[in-house]
């Protein structure tokens, strides 16, 4: 694991002013009209006073995206001091630390080493600052040609984070690195052009990267047909690049809880015969973000050695318009034998996910979580920075929502009203895969729920607890960078899944 372009993370118990670095990043907030450094900044009184006087003279406001550069600050070895705003708000303190660190790291592109002293204390807050800095410094330059490569500044080389004791450094560093690298991997996968990342190459990338601790298996189209995965095959049949199903198994010794993950992996979504407008296709390389999240989460869980069994199903297909493309009115047979009438070929994600949910249910895990850039309706409902959580188990929904928010993956639960299910009825198959236009995110989740199985035989057996994460909004940022989120892929969902695995591990 690791990337030569990654920002190195170093945690330390040293005082910030004494560490040799190109830059020092501190945080400020505004109270009663005055801008002051946050508490526990680690600077001596003279240095802190100088910084606060300079901020006042420059008219700094300590806003969320504000980074004020100061030179000639006494009492610090760094030649440059960057003061980032960290205003109060609804976000947790750890999330505000992450965002402030990201702003500081973005302001230091091209620098080799920076110390971050944002008032953090203890391993949890230090890890938050480290993650924010490393992700804020993220760049994706794999496809820059000779014209742009020479002019592109690299991200911050090393982030030195203060605020941990010597005996906490090793564990806190391992935690921050594992999660940061997982998020970076998702960003890299999602940002990769669709002519380079397609079902087969995606499968090869995943199986080639994961450690020996994770067992991998790939089903090609012939095997998918043999196994009755009509949803994945139907979506992929219009592409010259056949679909794949990748199964990942992490089974550490002593694990007593089993978590199943299902990820939507549409490597490019043209809409199929229900063709999208051209402008809507530009970002459709990101429609595989759910599968990327599941793969990267498994990697992080294994790297952390969490004692929980995890099985992930990456449902990979390219939704194109070739000779054999799926048509509205087709009927396909899903894994397990249920038939589905196709209504809109641009509602393809739920079809591949249905096969994955059936496969996950066959293992009778303790919980199933699926992750998908599933509906534009979820963006309409919750905006571009919040993922939607739906499911069949109120306790699991509440837990996933809470853990996601604590980890920095902003989440909000959405309902699945009972009146939606009848809208999926059709006289020609067991059900159709779209219903009424209203409540589109809930309609899609209601369809998925039909493929979640039971633990045991018979109608009296309990339904497997299941949560659905619709990451259509936060998975890809088409606007300007903010906090530690770059323009492009964000890696949203990884931290929520890792946090859930950590919780289930006990």
User: Which of the residues are catalytic?
Assistant: 276, 350
Which parts of 270-330 are beta strand (E)?
309-319
B/e letters for 190-213, b = 16+ CB within 10 Å, e = fewer, are: bbbebeebbbbbbbebbbeebeee
Name the phi and psi angles at 467, rounded to 5.
-130, 140
| Residues 51, 56, 62, 68, CA torsion sign | negative
Instruction: Provide the token pair at 457.
Output: 């035989």
Distance in angstroms (rounded) separating the CA atoms of residues 367 and 180: 25
The first and second tokens of residue 497, run together, are 């899944």
What Å distances lie between residue 400 and 180, 201, 407, 448, 500, CA to CA?
A: 20, 31, 10, 18, 7
Say if residues 76 and 14 touch (Cβ distance below 8 Å).
no
Helix (H, G, I), strand (E, B) or coil at 234: helix
Torsion region of 106: left, alpha or beta (phi above 0 gives left; psi -120 to 50 gives alpha): alpha
Which has the closest alpha carbon to 275: 226, 326, 214?
326
Rounded Cα gap, residues 415 and 197, in angstroms:
34
Which tokens in the block code for residue 265?
Answer: 């992996």
The rounded Cα 394 to chain-centroid distance in angstroms is 23
Tell which residue, 100, 128, 125, 122, has the closest CA to residue 25.
100
Give CA–CA dist 166/74, Å, rounded. 27
CA distance 375 to 387: 11
Rounded distance between C-alpha atoms, residue 391 and residue 89, angstroms: 29
In angstroms, the CA 247 to CA 501 distance is 17
**Phi, psi torsion values for 34, nearest 5 degrees:** -115, 140
Rounded Cα distance between 317 and 202, Å, is 10
Residue 434 CA neighbour count, 13 Å, CB half: 17
Task: Enumerate residues 6+ apart whose C-beta is below 8 A from 229.
Answer: 219, 245, 334, 335, 355, 359
Distances (CA, A) of 391 to 174, 308, 316, 400, 452: 32, 21, 23, 10, 10
């Amino acid at each position: 694991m690791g990337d030569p372009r990654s920002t190195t993370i170093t945690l330390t118990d040293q005082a910030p002013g004494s560490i040799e670095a190109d830059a020092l990043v501190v945080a400020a907030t505004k109270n009663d009209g005055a801008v002051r450094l946050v508490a526990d900044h680690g600077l001596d009184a003279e240095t802190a006073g100088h910084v606060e006087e300079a901020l006042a003279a420059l008219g700094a406001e300590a806003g969320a995206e504000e980074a004020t550069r100061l030179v000639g600050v006494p009492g610090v070895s760094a030649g440059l001091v960057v003061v980032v705003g960290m205003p109060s708000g609804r976000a947790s303190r750890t999330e505000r630390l992450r965002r402030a660190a990201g702003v500081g790291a973005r302001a230091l592109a091209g620098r080799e080493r920076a110390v971050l002293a944002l008032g953090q204390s203890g391993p949890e807050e230090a890890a938050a600052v480290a993650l924010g800095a490393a992700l804020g410094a993220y760049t994706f330059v794999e496809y820059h040609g000779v014209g742009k490569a020479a002019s592109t500044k690299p991200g911050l080389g090393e982030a030195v984070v203060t605020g941990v004791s010597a005996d906490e450094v090793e564990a806190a560093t391992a935690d921050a690195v594992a999660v940061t690298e997982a998020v970076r991997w998702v960003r890299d996968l999602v940002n990769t052009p669709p002519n380079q990342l397609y079902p087969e190459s995606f499968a090869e990338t995943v199986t080639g990267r994961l450690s020996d601790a994770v067992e991998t298996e790939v089903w090609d189209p012939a095997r998918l047909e043999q196994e009755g995965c009509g949803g994945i095959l139907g979506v992929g049949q219009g592409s010259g690049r056949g679909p794949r199903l990748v199964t990942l198994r992490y089974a550490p010794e002593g694990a007593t809880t089993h978590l199943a993950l299902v990820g939507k992996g549409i490597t490019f979504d043209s809409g199929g015969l229900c063709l999208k407008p051209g402008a809507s296709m530009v970002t459709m390389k990101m429609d595989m973000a759910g599968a990327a999240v599941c793969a990267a989460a498994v990697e992080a869980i294994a790297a952390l050695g969490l004692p929980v069994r995890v099985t992930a199903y990456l449902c990979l297909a390219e939704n194109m318009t070739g000779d054999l493309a799926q048509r509205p009115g087709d009927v396909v047979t899903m894994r397990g034998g249920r038939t589905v009438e196709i209504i809109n070929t641009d509602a393809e994600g739920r079809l591949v996910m249905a096969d994955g949910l059936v496969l996950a249910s066959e293992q009778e895990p303790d919980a199933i979580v699926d992750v998908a850039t599933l509906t534009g309706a979820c963006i309409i409902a919750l905006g571009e920075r919040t993922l939607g959580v739906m499911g069949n188990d109120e306790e699991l929904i509440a837990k996933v929502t809470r853990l996601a928010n604590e980890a920095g993956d902003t989440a909000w639960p959405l309902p699945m009203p009972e009146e939606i299910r009848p809208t999926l009825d059709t006289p020609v198959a067991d059900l159709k895969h779209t219903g009424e236009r209203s409540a589109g995110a809930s309609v899609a989740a209601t369809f998925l729920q039909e493929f979640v199985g039971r633990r045991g035989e018979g109608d009296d057996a309990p339904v497997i607890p299941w949560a659905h994460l619709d990451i259509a909004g936060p998975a890809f940022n088409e606007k300007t960078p903010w906090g530690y989120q770059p323009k492009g892929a964000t890696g949203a969902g990884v931290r929520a899944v890792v946090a859930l695995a950590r919780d289930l591990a006990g």
